[in-house]
Each structure stands twice: as C-alpha cells, then as structure tokens.
Amino acid sequence: MAEKFTINDSELDIEYKKEKDLIVKGVSKSKDTPTFHVCYPKDVKNLVFSMHFAAKKTSAENEIFFYMRYRDKDTHCCFSLRSGKEIRFYIKSAGKYTIDTTYIPITSDSLLNEKFDFIVSAFEDTFTVLIDRTIVINLDHMPEDSGKFGMDFVSLNDDDFNLYLEDFSLSDEILNFEPILDIPKNPDAYFMIANIFYEQNNYDLAIYYYRRGLHYGRGDCKVFNRMGNLLYIFEEYESAEKYYRAAGKEDPVNVEYKINLCRSLIKQNKSDEFRIMIDDFAADGIVDKELFIDYAGYLIDNKKYETALEYLGKIESECKESPDFESKMGRCLTEMGDLVRGQKYLLEASRLYYDKNPAD
C-alpha cells in the first residue's frame, strides 16, 4: 500500500498484515459509521483499489456501503448494496438527503426504471471495474479537503465480525493500469434498452443507450444500422454514413444497409459515390421508394427533371399515401411546365401531410 494512504477508525481493530492482507475486527453498530475508511491527500485524482474477501460476516442479511467524497457522517455520497439483490445511491449534505433513490431491485424489470438508470450512470461515472477484484475510483472530493474513501459492512443485528481482505492494495499509479482500462463492459443490457426505445419511436433515449452500449463494447450490424437510422432522423448525415458503412462491413451482402448508405450520401451530395450505387441498384433490379424519392430530390435540385420523373414513375404505385413522393412529383412537373398536374400533386402532398400531422 502506498505511503500516502492511511487506514483508520477509532472503534475498530485494523491490522495491515505483511503488507499484503488487511484484517478488520469490530462490531456493526450504525449505518452512519464506516467500518473503515481510507484517507488520501487532495492531490490524488484516482484510487486503484484491489482486494478479495476471504471471510464473511455471520449474518447473511447485510449491506455494503461504498462512500465517496466522504467528509463526515453528515456530508458524503454513497452507494449501498443490500444482500446482493438491491442497490441504492444517495447524497447527504449537512445531514440532509439531497438525493436518495431508495433501494431498487437488481433485476431485468428495473432496466427501464429511471432511478435504476440514474444509479447505473452515477456508478459508472465513479467506478471503472477492471477485473473481478480491482476497481478504479474516480475521486471527486471537495477541493479544499483531503479526502476519504469509506467502506461500511452492516448487518441487521449488532454482530461481531472479522473481515479478512486478501491481497489488499491501494495505489494512485493509474497509468500502470491503462492497458486494462480498455477491457470493455458488457454492452448487451444497453442495446436491449435501446432496442425497446427504438421500437417505441423514442429516438432520443434510443440513441443515448446505443451510444452507451457502444462505449463498452462492439455492436453488430443491426446496432450499427439502427444508429445510422437514428442519426439520419436527426439529420446528422455524416455520422449516419459512418455507421451504415460499419453495418455494411459486418454484412456486405445486406441490401438494406447499402440503400441506407446511399441515402446518407445523397443527403451529403456525394454524387461520385452514390451515382455508382444507384446504377448498381438499377442493374440488380432493386427498387426502393425512399431511396428513389431522395434521389429524385437531388435530380430536381440539379434540374435533371426527366431523370427525376423516370425514377418517381417507378415507385408511384407504392407511394399513394406518401407526402414526400407527392411533393417531389409536384415540384418536378411544375419545373417542367406542367402546372396543372404539378399543382394537383402539391395539393395532395399538403393534404397527406396535415392528415398525418394534425397538430401542425
């Protein structure tokens, strides 16, 4: 253990044995008093903490508290794990709870619980789990103080305990662990939540959870494609292109991913590339109404009305209820001088739009 750290608690018998193991003996009395706390100077920004429980308390029903920014029992923030089944996060300031999530079960049913998501977010912002017994704590204590990191082992009764923590170590040499920091967390839970929000058209939350999942691990072609779709909706076409390319790389024969990539390229006016793709689609007999509508818009903007009309004509039978199609067709015919038919399409576009968006 580095010399700059000290471990103490006046009510406990603490022994650091052979600079390897930590033995903590005492009696659980109060949830407000840590079993032991580690003091560190204020210049320490990260704390690498490693241990292994070699002995357990006699009571099966117990709680483990992790205190961060620990000043005293009235001012601190804390994670608490109860019986390995429930988790809680709270912040206490001047003796009052400013945030308290109460206990929430650690089950799949809690994944969409806003409080559970808040706890997960707060935990990830504070702890980086490296391996099964080593964590990095991002210290965010009050700058005028040196700090404390506390751990509290509490049972329902006033039980004697004898904690034996094997291979206990503390260090602020965070750079030594940089290769391990790249180990990803499991992203599956995030992708599962994101999929639910995606299907519910709750796109802001979907993109948030997809990004969190991708932060902790690699997605598959479906995740990349959905990220592209979300970014396309938000008109972030360059970013959408990146994800569509990633999806295509994972599954090179998937036509949907190629079409989506082509649409993102059209929106960015990257004609050298999307023209080749359009020709390939035509050669393969691929017809996609959204792609052709986008392509027709590009052609109209570049005064290539005959070609635009040709592509719109290929999908007209599929687009009877599409305001985008009616609008493009109306624009094209109007620019070609066919004002009567053009006006008819434009009026139909307006009607369809307001039928689908009555609040507007």
Give the chain's end-to-end CA distance (angstroms, integer). Answer: 65
* Size of the chain, expressed as the number of residues it contains: 360
Residue 281, pLDDT score: 92
Lowest mean pLDDT among 8-17, 90-99, 315-324: 8-17
CA distance 83 to 72: 25
| Tens digit of each residue's pLDDT (9 = 90 or more) over 124-173 | 556 554 444 455 565 554 445 556 666 666 655 566 666 666 666 666 65
Exposure letters 194-233 (e unless 16+ CB within 10 A, then b): bbebbeeeeeebbbbbbebbbeeeebebebbbbbbbbbbe
Residue 137, pLDDT score: 61
Residue 67, pLDDT score: 72
pTM, to two decimals: 0.52
Residue 271, pLDDT score: 92
Lowest mean pLDDT among 75-89, 157-171, 200-214: 157-171
3-state SS of the chain?
CCCCCEEECCCCEEEEECCCEEEEEEECCCCCCCCEEEEECCCCCEEEEEEEECCCCCCCCEEEEEEEEEEECCEEEEEEEECCCEEEEEEEECCEEEEECCCEECCHHHCCCHHHHHHHHHHHHHEEEEECCEEEEECCCCCCCCEEEEEEEEECCCCEEEEEEEEEEEECCHHHHHHHHCCCCCCHHHHHHHHHHHHCCCHHHHHHHHHHHHHHCCCCHHHHHHHHHHHHHCCCHHHHHHHHHHHHHHCCCCHHHHHHHHHHHHHCCCHHHHHHHHHHHHHCCCCCHHHHHHHHHHHHHCCCHHHHHHHHHHHHHHCCCCHHHHHHHHHHHHHCCCHHHHHHHHHHHHHHHHHHCCCC
| Tens digit of each residue's pLDDT (9 = 90 or more) over 255-305 | 999 999 999 999 999 999 999 999 999 889 999 999 999 999 999 999 999
Query: How is the beta sheet containing 21-27 ordered, strand by strand?
Result: 13-17, 21-27, 160-171, 46-53, 134-138, 127-131
Residue 304, pLDDT score: 94
Residue 351, pLDDT score: 86
> Among candidates 261, 316, 317, which has minimal Cα distance to 293?
316
Lowest mean pLDDT among 173-187, 195-209, 304-318: 173-187
How far from 51 is each of 19, 222, 254, CA to CA, in Å?
13, 39, 48
Regarding predicted confidence, which is higher, 226 or 172? 226
- Alpha-carbon Rg for the chain, nearest whole angstrom, is 30
Residue 340, pLDDT score: 92
> What number is the average pLDDT over the span 347-360?
75
Residue 245, pLDDT score: 96
Q: Is the pLDDT of residue 56 over 70?
A: no
Highest mean pLDDT among 100-104, 173-177, 229-233: 229-233
Regarding predicted confidence, which is higher, 196 or 1? 196
> What number is the average pLDDT over the span 33-38?
60
pLDDT > 90: what percent of the chain?
29
Residue 222, pLDDT score: 92
Regarding predicted confidence, which is higher, 200 or 338? 338
Tokens of 21: 């193991």
> Among candidates 66, 54, 64, which has minimal Cα distance to 21?
54
Query: In which band, very low, low, confident or very high, does the pLDDT at 327 lie, cut at 50, 70 and 90?
Result: very high
Let me know: does 42 contact 69? Beta carbons within 8 Å: no
How far from 12 is each of 8, 66, 135, 169, 343, CA to CA, in Å?
8, 17, 24, 19, 86
Lowest mean pLDDT among 89-98, 162-171, 190-199, 226-235: 162-171
Residue 108, pLDDT score: 55
